[in-house]
Structure 1
Amino acid sequence: MTSAKDKKPLPAHHDPKGNGFVNPWPSFTRHGHLALIRMLFGFDRKQAAVTPTTQLPKILNINKDLINTFSRPQERQGTSTGPGQITATWLGHACFLVQVDGVNILFDPVFSDRCSPSQLAGPKRFTPPPCKLDELPRVDIVVISHNHYDHLDLTTIRNLQKDHKPFFYVPLGNKAWFHSIGIKDRVTECDWWDEHEHSFHDNKSGIKVICTPCQHFTGRSLTDHFKTLWASWVIESIPKSEGAKPVKVFFGGDTGYRYVPEGADENAMPHCPAFKEIGDRIGPFDLSMIPIGAYSPRWFMSPIHCSPEDAVRVHEDIKSKRSVGMHWGTWILTDEDVTEPPRRLEAEMKNSGHDPNTFNTVNIGETIVVDV
């Protein structure tokens, strides 16, 4: 019989009453209903509107030849598309197809028109996906950061299961949702810092999936907030030759960095310590995908969404060599100008003394190849 003394204390991000999860840092605050109502009534629809003159992100047809080349099992030596290169294709919002050592990993895929419980109402895309879901190559792994509708989409997940039968990685509490839609196998639920390994291509390719912290919340209705966990993620290659270094990729999911009340000095506010811990424990990273949009009004959104300035701090904390901005240019979720995030990102990189080419944005559908 286990005594109370033998029980391990719950991690700090687990609600002590067993009611879900919390952000265990002073960099977070949980807004109440009055704050939500105030935010909704103050929403600047004119500023956030997409008009015929809005310079939207370019949408490119995906480079199927390039993507398919990196989808093939490669020998460890003597090729130009081996373990020393990563590709990342932005498919809109927070969805990326990342290819590491011939393994195809899809992050937060949403191909539906609306990120909503219904396709009859809710935020509607102002930029379409650069391809149809069935135009993607073989999908080996699908990684989900959390259960908000702009990151977890029923139709997309069902089609991926039907056509690809990938391994799904989800934060704690989300396996039940997958079971409820008939996906019973290959769903791995993770707590922060859990690690899992996979071998592919007759053991020529090895991939480690690591669930890491971030600052956000969850919920698919008005009554289930904070009931399931949210996460950032790390993909790390497993070298097959002695002395070879692993390739490391960071996916920020959806996260805030610091709560900034109205009138406060941003730089004086506590920031989320999780990213420095990730950088110290796992970094540096060869490629990172970091959210830069959905940050206005700042007083309301700052606990859960990064501004471009916050994103640069994350880039620094995790020790990223090359980062790409995401979580913008797809749906109107907040009231900043939809074209603003890349401009602010570029300005902040320059103001911080960084090479702007080490953290910038790409076109929807564009594939970048990162040499490691």
Structure 2
Amino acid sequence: MIKSTDKTRPAHHEPNGKGFLNPWPSYVRHGHFQALRMMLQFDRKQVNSSQVTQVAKIQNLNKDLVATHSEPAAKSDDGHNKIAYTWLGHACFLVQIDGVNILFDPVFSDRCSPSQYVGPKRVTPPPCKLDELPRIDIVVISHNHYDHLDLATIQNLQKQHQPYFYVPLGNKTWFDSIGIRTPKVRECDWWDGHDHSFHDGKSDIKILCTPCQHFTGRSIHDHYKTLWASWVVETKPKEEGQKPVKIFFGGDTGYRSVPDGKDEDEMPHCPAFKEIGDKVGPFDFSMIPIGAYSPRWFMSPIHCSPEDAVRVHEDIQSKRSVGMHWGTWVLTDEDMTEPPRRLQAAMAKRGHDPSVFSTMQIGETIVLDV
């Protein structure tokens, strides 16, 4: 990580203390001119009705979600730890581990927008209603963009479950404004960790806030004012000799900035993921974004392509990964059915078994023995 010239602040904090930044050569901050150029180049023909119909077929309406998984995964019959994970669309996952239910970036609203009358509308609906979810113990938020932090969803989760909320720095004020306050809201900087005990001490886990390459803002006036993050969940075994189970959630991230006409393999890549892998990895299960990457010259600093995602998978030392951040809203102009195909090809090109990092249906639940 690049050293900060202000010794009183971490490198990812603005020197004036009023915001945050990506402190790596792998990031390029686009301005208003570049944003206008991107909008003029946006290829709407790439997203057509036939693609939307195909994407809708990835839906797996799991009517047995509650009945099958009302109790969190714990251990298999042979004593192995189990992770049950359900993709609820976009970057939203329900992960059940060691008796604890964790929701990542839940958005159940129809539109990811300040208003439910305008803005991107869901192509694939959520596989269940909020009130059909099992008990939720913890909600983890990667950053404050509308496709990751949704007002109605958060209010309903608080009303129904009163979970703990883990959020990056600067987001506590937003939670305060809707009546959700400390100690239920844990605001974290990169590398902050918190231990949790559930079920009379039978389930102990650690939540760790980790870096990623992105930006924030819920209006045109508050970009970079709050922090963005990836997250790690780690169990704390009770039995001597038992290994902890480690889960990585990538949130929303880029990997490298790729200008038009440049060889992306020659571009600097974000060092944060190798740092995470070296410090915390290897990971038993990871959730890594693979979509919303076109046009590449504009989106590459903030969104992984499938090829970037494979590099993240390698850097963090993930044993099993699943692709997310695709197939739910039309946010960019790539073919909506393309991310899984490119992911499979990228895995093969890098010499990996494609089944180790793949995609799943919305609403599908997979139980993994680790």
Q: What range describes the TM-score normalised by the shorter chain of this pair?
A: over 0.9
SS of match in other structure, 2:38: helix
Q: Please report how far the alpha carbon of residue 66 of structure 1 lies from its aligned counterpart in structure 2 after TM superposition.
A: 2.7
Is structure 2 residue 92 aligned with structure 1 residue 95? yes
Q: How does 1:77-92 map to 2 (within 5 A)?
A: 80=77, 84-92=81-89
Q: What is the aligned partner in structure 1 of residue 356 from structure 2?
A: 358
Q: Please report how far the alpha carbon of residue 80 of structure 1 lies from its aligned counterpart in structure 2 after TM superposition.
A: 3.4
Instruction: Report the Cα distance in structure 2 between the residues aligned to 1:131 and 1:339, rounded to whole angstroms.
Output: 23
Q: Please report how far the alpha carbon of residue 17 of structure 1 lies from its aligned counterpart in structure 2 after TM superposition.
A: 1.4
Instruction: Report the Cα distance in structure 2 between the residues aligned to 1:83 and 1:328, rounded to whole angstroms.
Output: 31
Is structure 2 residue 340 aligned with structure 1 residue 338? no
Is structure 2 residue 246 aligned with structure 1 residue 242? no
Q: Please report how far the alpha carbon of residue 48 of structure 1 lies from its aligned counterpart in structure 2 after TM superposition.
A: 1.9
1:68/1:29 CA distance change after superposition, 3 Å: same
Instruction: Report the Cα distance in structure 1 between the residues aligned to 2:109 and 2:99, rounded to whole angstroms.
Output: 27
- For residues 206-253 of structure 1, the C-alpha deviation after alignment (integer angstroms, 9 at most, x for no partner) is 110000000000000000000000000000001011111100000000
Aligned partner of 2:27: which letter?
F
Paired-residue identity, %? 72
SS of match in other structure, 1:51: helix
Q: What is the aligned partner in structure 2 of residue 253 from structure 1?
A: 251
Aligned partner of 1:265: which letter?
D
Residue pair 1:107, 1:142 contacting (<8 A) in 2 also: yes
Instruction: Report the Cα distance in structure 1 between the residues aligned to 2:197 and 2:53, rounded to whole angstroms.
Output: 45
Is structure 2 residue 19 aligned with structure 1 residue 20? yes
Q: Please report how far the alpha carbon of residue 362 of structure 1 lies from its aligned counterpart in structure 2 after TM superposition.
A: 0.2
Q: Please report how far the alpha carbon of residue 51 of structure 1 lies from its aligned counterpart in structure 2 after TM superposition.
A: 3.1
Is structure 2 residue 58 aligned with structure 1 residue 61? no
Residue pair 1:50, 1:126 contacting (<8 A) in 2 also: no
Q: How does 1:30-179 map to 2 (within 5 A)?
A: 30-51=29-50, 54-56=53-55, 57-62=57-62, 63-64=64-65, 65-70=67-72, 80=77, 84-179=81-176
Aligned partner of 1:274: which letter?
A
Q: TM-score, normalised by structure 2?
A: 0.95
Q: Please report how far the alpha carbon of residue 55 of structure 1 lies from its aligned counterpart in structure 2 after TM superposition.
A: 1.4
User: More deviation in 253-262 or 12-21?
Assistant: 12-21
Q: What is the aligned partner in structure 2 of residue 11 from structure 1?
A: 10
Aligned partner of 1:282: which letter?
V
Q: Please report how far the alpha carbon of residue 369 of structure 1 lies from its aligned counterpart in structure 2 after TM superposition.
A: 1.1
Q: What is the aligned partner in structure 2 of residue 322 from structure 1?
A: 320
Report how many residues are paired.
Answer: 361
Instruction: Report the Cα distance in structure 1 between the residues aligned to 2:358 and 2:51, rounded to whole angstroms.
Output: 25
SS of match in other structure, 1:178: helix
Residue pair 1:82, 1:101 contacting (<8 A) in 2 also: no
1:27/1:8 CA distance change after superposition, 3 Å: closer
Aligned partner of 1:70: which letter?
P
Q: What is the aligned partner in structure 2 of residue 4 from structure 1?
A: none
Q: Please report how far the alpha carbon of residue 83 of structure 1 lies from its aligned counterpart in structure 2 after TM superposition.
A: 6.4
Residue pair 2:137, 2:163 contacting (<8 A) in 1 also: yes
Q: Please report how far the alpha carbon of residue 82 of structure 1 lies from its aligned counterpart in structure 2 after TM superposition.
A: 6.8
Q: What is the aligned partner in structure 2 of residue 184 from structure 1?
A: 181
Q: What is the aligned partner in structure 1 of residue 3 from structure 2?
A: none
